[in-house]
Amino acid sequence: MTDRQTVDAKGCAAMLRASSRVVALTGAGISTSAGVPDFRGPEGLYITGKYDPEATFEFSGFLRDPAPFFAFTRDVLGLVGDLRPTFTHRFLADLEARGTLRTVVTQNIDPLHQKAGSKNVIPVHGGYWTSHCVACGGLFSLGQLTALLDRDEVPKCSCGGVVKPDVVLFGEPVHAMDEAIAAVGEADLMLVLGSSLSVYPAGWLPEAARCPVVVVNLGPVDLSPGPDRLFAEAELDGFFREVALELEKSEH
């Protein structure tokens, strides 16, 4: 069995310096320091019990009764206006601006990568910026959804159908998976940041990599060791502040 290889900030910086087609896969751990709750961490949504997972996050539960999902949605949208990108969000946006990072594939439904300035973002679990009527397929903006939520417990289209945000619930197909697989396949370095890799199919993406994979996460990760897989159990912002300092040194 291959031993699990570790990497420190200096080693990660050296790998970034040697790469020009980096892809990042980000999970909930990149956004927790911005105030976004994760699902599976010690203070995660599944642990605290504030929301019933099946009723709130599964598509079958949504079809039975969408009210629990919209209670969660009100909480999320209440946070969004005050959210600020973390250091790691901004670090990835800077890597993209420099031409080093090609794509961010994110499992998150928050807009923090876009707020930080990342342009090429593939949100495989969707997000709240658009919604569709489940009956007629009508398109709604975030502003229109918010107005409907202010008026009714469950937002409805003029046709009477429920207006569902384009957030992927468990049991629904993910978005743009082919694009994400292609981006990973073309990379010369893959960063996996703040993800336990336990939600599929996004958790499978490192298996598609034909390049070294650097995993930075607090807690267990569902990825077996391998010759080109390096792991750091670290808090993201602290780790990438050190990486940024190492990269700065090499520029002077």
Residue type, 2: T
Residue 156, strand partner residues: 162
Q: Output DSSP code: residue 117.
A: T
Q: Angle CA(117)–CA(12)–CA(93) in degrees, nearest 5?
A: 5
Contacts of residue 65, defined as CB under 8 A and 6 or more positions apart, other chains included, come to: 55
Q: H/E element holding 230?
A: strand 229-232
Q: Output DSSP code: residue 196.
A: -
Given the residues 89, 113, 125, 132, the one annotated as active site:
125
Q: Is 252 a catalytic residue?
A: no
Structure-token match 């499992």, residue found = 107
Q: H/E element holding 240?
A: helix 236-251
Confirm if 226 and 2 have CB atoms less than 8 A apart: yes
> Cα(230)–Cα(228) distance, rounded to whole angstroms?
7
* Residues marked as catalytic: 125
